[in-house]
Chain A
Amino acid sequence: MRWAGKDALGAAGVLALLALIPAVTHSDYLIGILTVSLIFGIWAASWDFMSGLTGRENFGHALFIGAGAYTAALLNSKLDLSPWWCLPAGALTAVGFSLIIGFPTLRLRGPYFALAMLAAATIMQRLMRIFWEFTGGEEGIPGLDPLFESHVGTYYFCLFALTVTTAVLLALARSSWGTILRAIRGDEAACQAAGINVTFYKIAALMISAAFAGAGGVLYAHYQEAVTPDVFAVALSITIIIMVYVGGMGSIYGPVAGGIILALLPELLRGLGEYRLWVYSVILMLILFFAPGGLVAPLWRRLTAVAR
């Protein structure tokens, strides 16, 4: 295990820091935004697993998030199912959506996958408004059960979920699986020539990515205790992509950090909350021009190289 040393130490340090926060503060507001930022970490990591590794950029990650969130909301509010059952159900629905979009588009080269994901998420958002009898329209579905009675409980569960997500995705990304996915990004034709079923690996990666994103969507729905069509918004998909860019594509842990930092940033700089997307798009432009490799992951690599 090449990465056992400093990386594990760094991870443990960050984890300990995040775990200690509720002990320091009792502000529900702060715990709340931290919970959301952990969920963003899950979304960013799951985006990175598919798109960062294979280089097939997904412009509609919100499709999976929304699929998970609305599944949970419908099951919880209409059938009174416990949030704990909604978690696997939401993840499964997201996987179903990933098959519908991934199967026709991922066997093709070219921008079809990116465009189809963007289109699907946008259209789902419209459908949630149009079929308001079932989905509550613009107001969405309110009054969901929370996962835990206390905010701190939810926070710790989200931290646990983020840790599991990151660990699983990192382990996959650093296994032979991840090597194949990265090889697909490098040269798809060569992979095919080597006898690798490229389409299978891409679709499988998308399914895994969708499962985690959907589960994140369920967590988000139960944390908010409501869903609105905005969980399908392109703005959400784009926010996640920007977080991955800031973190450093293809590293999994970078996007997790990028997600947490960027989700906290506008809240910490008070008054910027309203201009969140504006700030993000400026950050995106700066990153594209001046740090195309991202910030967090390259920084961490340099740090560990110095500490050696």
Chain B
Amino acid sequence: MFNILVYGAVTSAVYAMLAVGFTLIFGVARILNLSHGAFYGLGAYAAYVLTAKLHWPLLPAAVFSVLFVAAFGALVERFLVRPLRASALAVLMITLAVALLFEQGMFILFGSEARNVPAFSTATWTYSGLDISGQRLLTLAAGFVVLGVLYIFIQRTRLGSAILAISQDPEGAQYMGIPANRMYSLVMALSAGIAATAGVLTAPFLTVQPTMDLLPMVKAFAIVIVGGLGSIPGSILAALLLGYSETIVAYTISPAWTEIVSLIAVLLTLILRPAGLLGTRAAF
């Protein structure tokens, strides 16, 4: 029981960090960002390069990686997505191209073998017969902090209000003098930064490989669909739901079946409640 509780919470925290950014950029800018997984992977690879190749200490390396990916996200928005915003399909394709270039780029630069990123904490906690690595607990804590800060940022600051305003009515917000394009870049940077944070934190206990971007992105989709496209509380709720159901399935049935959970969840959601758990917009 206890291990399901802890591991489920860690998985949920990672999923929430991935899904929140994905749903944020969709809710605000209507960008369905297929390079979201690439941001996550880029964070992990940046941390790998800085620590293993350039021998930086871990903390500055992690912070720099996150900032680097955030800047990369803003650049992608500015130079690749913005000129094509008129067509939703073109935006999908260009973000897909970015994801593809990430995978191929990492493959050419670092090969296909898994890379190691050092952990912040190598301590292991033993509690009622269960070993929990410090890194996992740190990831869980970081998830709480990131989501909390994001919540305060959006609800309590002027910039956050501007982002909310654009997500509710882009034209109206522009008439009020909110620079929509700059907000899109900012939100993209924010979403990329959160994904990279998840990448840096999970890198020590998950594999760092060129193809690592795909599955987290698929999970992010699934969570966002279950929670309701564009709804941040929805995606946090769905992240908990999926994180825990996967962990329960892994412990009670077999780890092999975990991958199907998200697919079934997506299909069931779309059949029963297409707008998602907390989605406000009717999907059809």
The residue from B80, B221, B271 contacting A118, defined by CB atoms under 8 A apart: B221
Assess whether A167 is interfacial by the CB under 8 Å rule. Answer: no
Bound together, the chains give a CA A280 to CA B274 distance in angstroms of 35
16 interchain pairs (CB within 8 A)? A104-B271, A108-B270, A111-B229, A115-B225, A115-B266, A116-B267, A119-B266, A122-B215, A123-B218, A123-B262, A241-B93, A278-B100, A278-B105, A282-B101, A284-B93, A289-B83
Selected from A100, A101, A112, A281, the residue in CB contact (under 8 A) with B100 is: A281
7 pairs of A and B residues whose beta carbons are closest in the complex = A281-B100, A104-B270, A278-B104, A130-B256, A108-B284, A115-B221, A104-B271
- Tell whether, in the assembled complex, residue A288 and residue B92 are in contact, meaning their CB atoms are under 8 Å apart: no
Q: When the two chains form their complex, are residues A114 and B92 in contact, meaning their CB atoms are under 8 A apart?
A: yes
Contacts beyond the supplied A241-B93, A284-B100: 19 A-B pairs with Cβ under 8 Å: A57-B89, A104-B270, A104-B271, A111-B32, A111-B92, A111-B229, A112-B225, A115-B221, A115-B266, A119-B218, A119-B262, A126-B259, A131-B256, A275-B104, A275-B108, A278-B101, A281-B100, A285-B97, A292-B90
Query: What is the interface residue range for chain B against chain A?
Result: 35 or more
Contact A109 B259, CB 8 Å, known A275-B104, A285-B94: no
Distance from B58 Cβ to chain A, minimum over Cβ atoms (Å): 31
Residues of the B chain whose Cβ atoms lie less than 8 Å from the Cβ of A277: 100, 103-104
Q: Look across to chain A and name the residue whose beta carbon is closest to the beta carbon of B103.
A: A277
What CA separation (Å) do A272 and B226 show in the bound complex?
41
Map CB proximity to B onto A83-123 as digits: 1 under 8 Å, 0 otherwise: 00000000000000000110011011111101110111011
Bound form: Cα–Cα A272–B270 in Å:
42
Shortest beta-carbon distance, A101 to chain B, in Å? 8
Q: Is the CB of B101 within 8 A of A281?
A: yes
Residues of B within 8 A of A120 (CB): 263
In the complex, residue of chain B having the shortest beta-carbon distance to the beta carbon of A292: B90
**Residue interface mask B224-268, A partner, CB < 8 A = 1:** 010001000000000000000000000000001001101100110
A108 to B80, CA, bound (A): 28
Judging by beta carbons under 8 Å apart, are B221 and A280 in contact? no
> CB-CB contacts of B84-116 with A at 8 A, as 1s and 0s?
100111101110110011011100100000000
A116: nearest chain-B partner, CB-CB? B266
A288 touches B259 (CB 8 A): no
Are A288 and B93 in touch, CB under 8 angstroms? yes
* Residues of A in contact with B, size category: 35 or more
A238 within 8 Å of B by Cβ? yes
Residue A245 CB within 8 A of the other chain: yes
Report if A234 contacts B (CB, 8 A). yes
Minimal beta-carbon separation of B229 from chain A (angstroms):
7
Contact B274 A112 (CB under 8 A): yes
Contact of B214 among A122, A245, A278 (CB under 8 A): A122
In contact, A100 and B267 (Cβ under 8 angstroms): yes
Give the chain B neighbours of A12 by CB distance below 8 A: none
B222 lies within 8 A of chain A by Cβ: yes
> A268-284, CB under 8 A of B: which get 1 and which 0?
00000001011011101
Contact A105–B262 (Cβ < 8 Å): no
B145 contacts chain A at the CB level, 8 A cutoff? no
List chain B residues, Cβ under 8 A from A104: 267, 270-271
Complex alpha-carbon distance, A59 and B229, angstroms: 18
